Amino acid sequence: RNSVLLLHGLLLGALLFFVAAGELMKYSVPEGKFQKKDGSLIDINDFDPVELGPYPKCHPHHKEYEVVDASGTQKWELINNAPSAGPFPPGHPENPEFLAKRDAEAKRENREEMFTWKGLQPSLHLLALATLCVALGSQHGVWLFTEPESNEEGAGEAQQTTMLKKEDAYWFPVMGSALLFSLFIIYKYLGSEWIKLMVSVYILVMCTFTFGANMGNLVDVIKGTVTKPLFKVPYFDINVTVFDILGSIFGAVMCVAYLLTKNWIINNLFGISFSVMGLKKIATSNAKTGAIMLLGLFVYDIFWVFGSKQVFGSNVMVTVAKGVEAPIKLMFPRSVNGCGNLEFSMLGLGDIVVPGIYIAFMAKWDAVLKGSGKATSSIYLTVCMVAYALSLITTVLVMLIFNAAQPALLYIVPYVLAASAGLAFLRGECREVLAYDIPDKEDEDAKSKEAKDK
């Protein structure tokens, strides 16, 4: 319990620190002007796409490019309507001259700024929030796993966890691919603003109730007991406490604010809340199931980042991550563009929740070892957290060196699996780790009810 409270405090402190750091990066650019990288100001109408690339958000022709038709007439075309095979004239984000120039400039800047505060700040931001989310979700999951049953009628039901079976692990990459590709079709080809808004609102509604549930859980940890529910939502079989309701009201206010502003701070608050709740409420029943899930999503991540462009003409993962205006990712300010707007690095919530589910299982295994007197510290959790942090550092370094989006699970999965397997081997506990199975309360309750009926 004390560890959970400490991690809440550390996460809040990190969030506040990096919010301040990100907001201090901002500066204003006069209306109607554009600031070039050398600091000089130009009139926005003098923006040259040959020199500067696609038209920015503060330009009247943002998301458009200029073409000359067969009759020699110049006209404006939407970038989304451009033929996938090209050609891509200046002003189009796929223009080869622009891509080569941008890549060279980015690599040079990365080399020059890698060890400056400007270069380190977004990477440290990513590392701090991601690792603290996994640590907090894992430790809170252990608290729910080891806490004594509440005496309040119905209170314990609110803490039930969805246990993943082996067949669920096999289906994870398939269902994830179907969802990702569906979103790609919506954002790449349909272009309907109403559909995009519906997707955003659906995700935000889930974030609102998740935020409320997290607030209720935090109050439970502070009190040291589970709060008695006011009522149960029948269809979803969810118990609701007064603190859940108060938290959801606050979450709804943030939801409206996000829809109006798309503020990155609110995005991260919802993203952190969603990640932590996922780690508390979704668990793997054993190490083998967790490993199968990780390996399946390892292949999934590599294909959709590296292989999808050759198949579908666009990087599906990047298209969805940039297109969905909802908290499906954490955002880390890295620079300010010529319009005076923040630009961001991103980390998908799946890169937190997926490895976090496996790490949370290892944290529960630590609790079993400590309960039996075979360990005095959370050694599996500690080793897995170090491996997770090192994998994120590797991801960032490769991304900066090659200036290309990286599938984080490509690095996270080998690090975490190798670390946990190596530790089990060194301690002589491989057989015990693989044999341990967390009992599913729902299955036990069903069997108990069936026995009573007989």
Look up 301 and say whether it is catalytic: yes
- Within 10 A of 449 (CB to CB), how many other CB atoms are there? 10
For the chain, report the end-to-end CA distance as a whole number of angstroms: 40
Pair of tokens at residue 386: 């170090």
Look up 168 and say whether it is catalytic: no
| Spatial CA neighbour of 345 closest among 120, 135, 53 | 120
Identified catalytic residue from 301, 440, 445, 453: 301
20: left (phi over 0), alpha (psi -120 to 50) or beta: alpha
**Strand spans (E) along 213-357:** 231-233, 238-240, 282-284, 329-336, 342-348
433: left (phi over 0), alpha (psi -120 to 50) or beta: alpha
Pair of tokens at residue 80: 């989304």
Question: What CA–CA distance (Å, rounded) separates 18 from 33?
Answer: 29
Identified catalytic residue from 38, 46, 48, 351: 351
Phi, psi for 425 (deg, rounded to 5): -65, -45
**How far, in Å, are 32, 183, 337, 339 from residue 28 at the CA level?**
12, 34, 10, 8
Sign of CA dihedral 310, 313, 314, 316: negative
Question: What CA–CA distance (Å, rounded) separates 19 from 223?
Answer: 29
Residues annotated as part of the active site? 301, 351
